[in-house]
Structure 1
Amino acid sequence: MFPVSDDNPTRITPYVTLGIIAANILVFLYQLSLTPVQLENFFYTWAVVPRELTASLLGETLRYQPFPEWITLVTSQFLHGGFAHIAGNMLFLWIFGNNVEERLGHIRFLIFYIGCGVLAVLAQWFFSSDSNIPSLGASGAIAGVMGAYILRFPGVPITTIIPPFIFFPFRIPAWAYLGIWFIQQAFYGVASLSVPTNIGMERGGVAYWAHAGGFVFGAILGPLLGLFSRPEKRYSP
């Protein structure tokens, strides 16, 4: 599903959302400059490798790392595996992130975004703690933004299509669009538990538990950080 929000109540410039998008694009451009071997080493250094994170939490080390393994819980959020991966993530971040940033404010939104990303990665790690496949991408953090959005802007209409089934644009409330998305992620996550090669982090698949977990954590953290507070007067037109 490819969404476009039909309502944009943002009254401030979403500097953090724009900054995160720019940072992701710059890192991706750097990835494009690397050879395949360099790129693989780059991912194993800066992405979350569940097995190595598990070893780190147990006080062990599987290979040399120039920094503590937990740092990858943050750095992995700025890595992507291809054009479609980063394009989809940045589209969703722009559509849903600017309005959430307007409600939380710049600093709290940044804390919220990074926090959701870390918790989302840990949710996926919980189900794939022995995997040796790097986990990367902003999807978990963006899922957190979507979890906050569905609470704060449930009635905002979303224009979308659903290829390959529906190619003409139609409107659907945000609560329905995001609710369906969350149910899909949770269903695929549960289904992956019965598959020997976990659909989550194995063989470069989709980290469904990170998506579902990020969504839930976003719905929890958003209100705690002031999602339903009135925007400060300085943000008003």
Structure 2
Amino acid sequence: MVIPVHDVNPVRRTPWVTYALIAANVLVFITTPGIAGSVAGSSELAQLCHLQAFMDHYAAVPRELIHHQMPRVVPTGEVGLGPGGPGCVVGPPGYDKSPPLSVFTAMFLHGGWLHLLGNMLFLLIFGNNVEDRMGHIRFFLFYVVCGYAAGYGFALLNATSSDPLIGASGAIAGVLGAYLVLYPRARVWVLVPFLVFLPLRLPAWLVLGFWFGLQAVYSSGHGVSGAGTVAYAAHVVGFVAGMLLAWPLKPGTPPPPEPPGLLFGRRARPHYSW
């Protein structure tokens, strides 16, 4: 897996929506009840129960999205003593949850620092240019639509699942799909793990195409055990949605600057004619 760190594609205006989305995701993360203990590896049961209840309330659950049925019992956030010892108490939900709205709130929830920082890195690198091309308001609407497409697409493929779906990666996958359509030849600095991290400058079509290929393979269950706990199918759906929505903008998109004499991050040897 390559790690993008910077793209060679300047913008004409400040990407305020991209910055605001990053700030909102970070703010929600650090104020999520119980997240500090979970991130620090703490096993304090009260914190874990509180976090579980919060996620169940605001995360998107495929079964709820497809069947519009709330479960009869949900985590309450309290700790109780059962036959098997201390555990999280469950009971009737004390709130009214809107499944469609939960798709939006789930876009700002993350399960750990690595999950958050990975998503924000991709949004920072690729979101600014897509916002620059679309404009602030259209980019925000585009981001939300891609997030909803990813959430409901995943739910349709996992209609009976009661596992919560969280994270901005579905919406950000849409941003990546749009970037691939609009700026396929833009150069992206990446770190490639090979004994050490090798810095290379690669075309966006290669970086994002490779990323999408991995998501497609993983979503089919190949390469990871049971597809892991990552919603790879949501990434695939979000990416395709982003490509389709950005396609009408492609004809009027100016090409990114092409650094002269560069070949995959190294300066090519000049050819002289005598």
The superposition leaves residues 161-183 of structure 1 with CA deviations (integer Å, 9 ceiling, x where unpaired) of 23355511112100011001101
Q: Is the 8 A contact 1:103 1:227 kept in 2?
A: no
Match of 1:38 among 50, 53, 57: 50
- Distance in 1 (CA, whole Å) between partners of 2:118 and 2:180 is 19
Q: Is the 8 A contact 1:7 1:157 kept in 2?
A: yes
Match of 2:167 among 120, 137, 151: 137
In the TM superposition, residue 152 of structure 1 has moved relative to its aligned partner by 0.8
Q: Secondary structure at the match of 1:12?
A: coil
- Distance in 1 (CA, whole Å) between partners of 2:134 and 2:203 is 22
Verify: 1:86 aligned to 2:116, yes or no. Answer: yes
- Distance in 2 (CA, whole Å) between partners of 1:33 and 1:170 is 36
Higher helix share: 1
Q: Which amino acid aligns with 1:38?
A: H
Residue equivalent to 1:172: 202
Residue equivalent to 1:235: none
Q: What are the ranges of 5 or more consecutive residues in structure 1 without an aligned counterpart?
A: 232-237
Q: CA RMSD in A?
A: 2.1
In the TM superposition, residue 131 of structure 1 has moved relative to its aligned partner by 1.1
Report matched runs for 1:160-199 at 5 Å. 160-163=190-193, 167-191=197-221, 198-199=226-227
Q: Which amino acid aligns with 1:213?
A: V
Higher strand share: 2
Verify: 1:126 aligned to 2:135, yes or no. Answer: no
Q: Which amino acid aligns with 1:148?
A: A
User: Of the two, which has the highest radius of gyration?
Assistant: 2
Q: Is the 8 A contact 2:59 2:109 kept in 1?
A: yes
In the TM superposition, residue 111 of structure 1 has moved relative to its aligned partner by 0.3
Verify: 1:19 aligned to 2:20, yes or no. Answer: yes
Residue equivalent to 2:142: 112
In the TM superposition, residue 227 of structure 1 has moved relative to its aligned partner by 5.5
Residue equivalent to 2:71: 62
Residue equivalent to 2:235: 211
Match of 1:154 among 178, 181, 184: 184
Q: Is the 8 A contact 2:154 2:233 kept in 1?
A: yes
In the TM superposition, residue 62 of structure 1 has moved relative to its aligned partner by 2.1
- Distance in 2 (CA, whole Å) between partners of 1:164 and 1:132 is 39
Q: Which amino acid aligns with 1:49?
A: V
Residue equivalent to 1:234: none
Q: Is the 8 A contact 1:103 1:228 kept in 2?
A: no
Q: What are the ranges of 5 or more consecutive residues in structure 2 without an aligned counterpart?
A: 38-46, 73-92, 255-274
Tell me the TM-score normalized by structure 2: 0.75
Q: Secondary structure at the match of 2:227?
A: coil
Tell me the TM-score normalized by structure 1: 0.86
The superposition leaves residues 186-220 of structure 1 with CA deviations (integer Å, 9 ceiling, x where unpaired) of 1111226x97xx526xxxx1111011111100001
Could you say if the C-alpha distance between residues 40 and 104 of structure 1 is closer, same or farther in structure 2, counting changes exceeding 3 Å? same
The aligned length equals: 220
The superposition leaves residues 116-138 of structure 1 with CA deviations (integer Å, 9 ceiling, x where unpaired) of 01101112112211111111000
